[in-house]
Amino acid sequence: PYVFTRSLEQFTRAQRVIPAGIPGHLGPTEGLHLPYDGFPKFAARAEGTRFWDVDGNEFIDWMCAYGPNVLGYGDPDVAAAAAEQAKREDVTSLPSTVMIDFAELLVDQVASADWAIFAKNGGDTTTLAIMTARAATLRKKVVFIKGFYHGVAPWTQKLDYPGVLEEDVANNLYVPWNDLDALRALLGAHRGQIAALIATPYMHGNFVDNALPADGYWQAVRKLCDEHGIVLIIDDVRAGFRLDLAGSDHFFGFEADLICFCKALANGYNVSALMGRDSLREAVSSITYTGSYWMSAVPFAAGIATQQKLRELDAPALFDRLGTRLVDGLVAAGADAGFDLVASGAPALFYLRVADPADSLMLHQEWVAECVRRGVYLTSHHNHFLNAAVTDADIDRTVEVAAEAFAVLRQRHPEAA
């Protein structure tokens, strides 16, 4: 099994000058990397389906940089388009017309949207979406689905989180996923006061099995939003373009008013997009909201190349086929060793949990750590991601490693379910 000596040395070095060493979602605390020294901390190189850490260990990467790697790291077509644009200009005093090219492509591709506004992070677009809904409706309240994640802006956080004020979350209302009765009751109780409902296209929350929408759920939510004059915001930052290139609302058979994209837009080049309907064009235009790098041209060129290639590959169908094959293989490997590996969510963004009768995360974390030590990069609390460079050989190797990891677990825990 791999060792992570250099990673740990670099982590110690980082902690001297960077609070928490690696702050945020790639950090060992946030990512709950247990056992702590059983995971690499820094990558040195990436290509296709793989990355190599600073100790020289090679990994088949099922996290895909938490989403941006959608075609394979360093995809040559995207790299060529980006390099071509970089020769001309990137960050300049005026935007490039490549911004319009990218917006035209996306408006043509995404079924529910008539316009696009570009930013950098997913959280930029969810915040702009909320502001747009409030500007359009002149209402304050927003409905969230329990277990949500829409970024890190104060309005997305919880009252007991450090640095968050009561005022930041005073207008947030919460309902359980897939519960129309609860939603109807909430909308009735706050009639005329709700600006928006924000939700991911299905429940791909952390630390829980992911859950697809119940039959008719989205159609009923759409109808309720129309009846109450509520702006329906779909946060497609994570699932976007992995289920359907026309948007995940299209995949589930409804139309959002506003839809947020980020991760799979440009294969790792830095751009996000809020897209929406004509009825919200004026409201979004009225808002004061921008950033130093939001109109950089290289990511737009990379985004065009990425979306064209995703179309050529019919990537969502590819992800579904590869993801299904992988998940079936992993579940069977678990069963062979007597473990109940629960797979949930869409195959393109599969979520895994080793069902543990003790109902702790430990057994699952141990299995993930044993996979990582053998060159298969999984995570323990978050959905995974498919990319278009994945081969059947990658899947076979992953299942083989998973089986080895289950065998280790079985030896260590002869009594476990």
Give the separation between CA 322 and CA 392, rounded to whole angstroms: 8
Stretch that binds ligand PMP, among 181-189, 232-240, 313-321, 330-338 (CB under 6 A): 232-240
Is 122 an interacting residue with respect to ligand PMP (CB under 6 A)?
Answer: yes
Stretch that binds ligand PMP, among 143-151, 161-169, 174-182, 353-361 (CB under 6 A): 143-151
Give the separation between CA 233 and CA 284, rounded to whole angstroms: 13
Is 233 an interacting residue with respect to ligand PMP (CB under 6 A)?
Answer: no
Structure tokens at 195: 């600006």
Contacts of 144 (CB under 8 A, 6+ apart): 150, 172, 173, 174, 175, 198, 199
Smaller CB distance to ligand PMP: residue 5 or 207?
A: 207
* DSSP code of residue 114: S
Of the residues 57, 121, 306, 379, which one makes contact with ligand PMP according to CB under 6 A = 121
Stretch that binds ligand PMP, among 11-19, 53-61, 144-152, 403-411 (CB under 6 A): 144-152
Is 151 an interacting residue with respect to ligand PMP (CB under 6 A)?
Answer: yes
The answer to whether the CB of 312 falls within 8 A of the CB of 290 is no
* Shortest distance (Å) from residue 357 CB to ligand PMP: 30
Stretch that binds ligand PMP, among 145-153, 308-316, 337-345, 357-365 (CB under 6 A): 145-153
* DSSP code of residue 214: P
Contacts of 308 (CB under 8 A, 6+ apart): 105
Nearest to ligand PMP by Cβ — which residue? 122
Structure tokens at 207: 């630390």
Of the residues 53, 55, 235, 394, which one makes contact with ligand PMP according to CB under 6 A = 235
How deeply is 267 buried, as exposed, middle or buried, from its count of CB atoms within 10 A (0-12, 13-18, 19+)?
Answer: buried
Query: Would you give the binding string for ligand PMP spanning residues 183-222, x where CB under 6 A is met?
Result: -----------------x----------------------
Structure tokens at 187: 């909308």
Of the residues 238, 250, 353, 373, which one makes contact with ligand PMP according to CB under 6 A = 238
Label the pairing between strands 141-145 and 172-175: parallel
Give the separation between CA 266 and CA 191, rounded to whole angstroms: 40
Structure tokens at 370: 């044993």
Is 118 an interacting residue with respect to ligand PMP (CB under 6 A)?
Answer: no
Is 379 an interacting residue with respect to ligand PMP (CB under 6 A)?
Answer: no
Residue 219 amino acid letter: Q
Site size toward ligand PMP (CB under 6 A) is 13
Of the residues 10, 49, 85, 126, which one makes contact with ligand PMP according to CB under 6 A = 126
Phi and psi angles of residue 129, each rounded to the nearest 5 degrees, phi first:
-65, -45
* Shortest distance (Å) from residue 288 CB to ligand PMP: 19
The answer to whether the CB of 178 falls within 8 A of the CB of 145 is no
Is 55 an interacting residue with respect to ligand PMP (CB under 6 A)?
Answer: no
Smaller CB distance to ligand PMP: residue 200 or 379?
A: 200
Is 237 an interacting residue with respect to ligand PMP (CB under 6 A)?
Answer: yes
Find out whether the peptide bond into 201 is cis, omega within 30 degrees of 0: no
Smaller CB distance to ligand PMP: residue 53 or 235?
A: 235
Is 150 an interacting residue with respect to ligand PMP (CB under 6 A)?
Answer: yes
Structure tokens at 344: 């949930």
Can you give the binding site for ligand PMP, defined by CB under 6 A?
Answer: 66, 121-123, 126, 149-151, 200, 235, 237-238, 262
